[in-house]
Each structure stands twice: as C-alpha cells, then as structure tokens.
Amino acid sequence: MLQKNIVAIGGGGFGRSLGNLMIEKYIISLVDLKKPSICFIPTASGDCDSYKLNFYRAFSKLNCNSTHIDLFTRTENLEKKILNQDIIFVGGGNTKSMLAVWKEWGLDKILKTAYEKGIVMSGVSAGAICWFDKGITDSFADKLDIIDCLGFVEGIACPHFDEEKEREPYVKKILTNNIINSCICIEGNCALHIKNNDKYESISFGEKKKSLKIYKYNDELITEYF
C-alpha cells in the first residue's frame, strides 16, 4: 500500500550544524533503498550557497544521490527533476516569498503530484509549515502572521515554538481571540511525522523536544502532545 509521508521540522538539523544527523537519518529511513535520491529546495533562503553546501555535506555522509533546485538562476525542468526523487527537503527562510515563487513556476502543483505518488516531503521551518493549510510565519519584518500554504495536510502550523520568544504568546493570543481554532506547534530539534494525512508522530532529536496541538475548549486553551 502506498504511504504518504511528511516530516515537518520545527528547527535545527543540517542547516545549523551537521551534528549526528539524527533527523536526516530518520527521513532517509522512510525510503527502503540503499542509495535514495534526495532533492533540496532552498528557495526560502534565496538559493543560499552555504545552505546548499551544508545539504551536500550532510547527505553525502548518508549515502544519498543528492541534488538541488535553483529558482533564481536558469531553472531546469522541474517536473522531471522532482518526480525522479525519493525524498524532497525544503529549507527554511521566507515562507511567503518561497510560496509565491513556487506558484509562479507551478512547483506547488508538481510537489502535490510527487506527494500523491509517495515521494517523501520534508523540510524545516518554512519547509515544515508549507505542507499545511496555513502557517505562522515571520516572513514580515515587524510581526508574525498567518499565511495560506499548500494544503497537503489540514491545520495551521507554527515552527520554532520554544526557540523564538514571540511564538507562544502569538499563538495563544490568536486562539483566545478566536482568529484560529487550533494550532500545531513544533519545537526546535523536533519534527512531526505525518503519515497518510492523519497519523501523527513526534520525533525528538534534541533534549525532550515536543510537537503539540493547542486548541480552545470552553474558553480554555488545551494542550495535547503528539
């Protein structure tokens, strides 16, 4: 039976430090191949060269066929490239700008096709929230905000929940004010693995890090841990 997988990382991983590559190893374990193909999409960072270098350093250690897609130089055949991968990894940065560029190139639709075919979708920060209906982003310099995302899975997601001090108060404020009904919050050095759109597992690769859902019930905020 075909299984769909999304691994949404709240913060950390190879973009900060190669470390023990625990979450990267977990993502690769979802593909039963000795040498899986993985494609890095660093659009949210403006195709940052140092970010790409860290990607290749990380996944070369893990026996992968590694490649990446640039959207700010001459752009290759995206459909052919994406659909020949086993894993997609989306980097962090400006989510709003990333999604705008993807839609201009039709990459959002290509990624949806890839997801439906069972290609593993993964990423950190912008690359974590992009798969949900909506995401809480710091794409704007002066505020956090809620933006529409790809809608592969239901819900509103917030990364860096314990890493950036403004995140938790913002989430609680918009829940209290009935702007949203619930929020999936992912701490740094933690990932939420979503299987077949409806099975959730929290993967900690730090010190007791968590993924959680906060919602309002009878005028109280309730927290449930995945």
Q: What is the CATH number of the domain that holds 129?
A: 3.40.50.880
Q: At how many degrees (to 10) do helices 95-105 and 107-116 cross?
A: 90
Does residue 1 have a pLDDT over 90?
Answer: no
Does residue 146 have a pLDDT over 90?
Answer: yes
Kindly state whether residue 173 falls inside one of the protein's structural domains: no
> What is the mean predicted confidence (pLDDT) over 150-166?
97
Percent of the chain with pLDDT over 70: 100
Does residue 223 have a pLDDT over 80?
Answer: yes
Kindly state whether residue 159 falls inside one of the protein's structural domains: yes
This prediction has a pTM of 0.97
What is the predicted pLDDT for the residue at 17? 84
Q: How far is CA 66 from CA 51, 115, 179, 199, 220, in A?
A: 14, 19, 41, 28, 47
Q: How far is CA 143 from CA 2, 22, 146, 161, 187, in A?
A: 40, 32, 10, 15, 19
Kindly state whether residue 168 falls inside one of the protein's structural domains: no
Could you tell me whether strands 211-217 and 182-186 are parallel, antiparallel, or unpaired per DSSP bridges? antiparallel
What is the predicted pLDDT for the residue at 45? 98
Kindly state whether residue 214 falls inside one of the protein's structural domains: no
Parent domain of 134: 5-163+186-209
Please list, in sequence order, all residues whose beta carbon lies within 8 angstroms of the beta carbon of residue 193, skipping any fewer than 6 positions away: 5, 6, 7, 8, 26, 200, 201, 202, 203
The pLDDT tens digits for 13-56 are 999 888 899 999 999 999 999 999 999 999 999 999 999 999 99
Alpha carbons 19 and 58: distance in angstroms, whole number = 9
Kindly state whether residue 132 falls inside one of the protein's structural domains: yes
Strands, E assignment, 19-168: 37-41, 65-68, 87-90, 120-124, 132-140, 143-148, 153-158
| Active centre residues (catalytic) | 125, 160
Kindly state whether residue 205 falls inside one of the protein's structural domains: yes
Kindly state whether residue 121 falls inside one of the protein's structural domains: yes
Provide the pLDDT confidence category of residue 209 given band limits of 50, 70 and 90: very high
What is the predicted pLDDT for the residue at 32? 93
> What is the mean predicted confidence (pLDDT) over 198-221?
96
Kindly state whether residue 203 falls inside one of the protein's structural domains: yes
The pLDDT tens digits for 66-120 are 999 999 999 999 999 999 999 999 999 999 999 999 999 999 999 999 999 999 9
Number of domains in the chain: 1
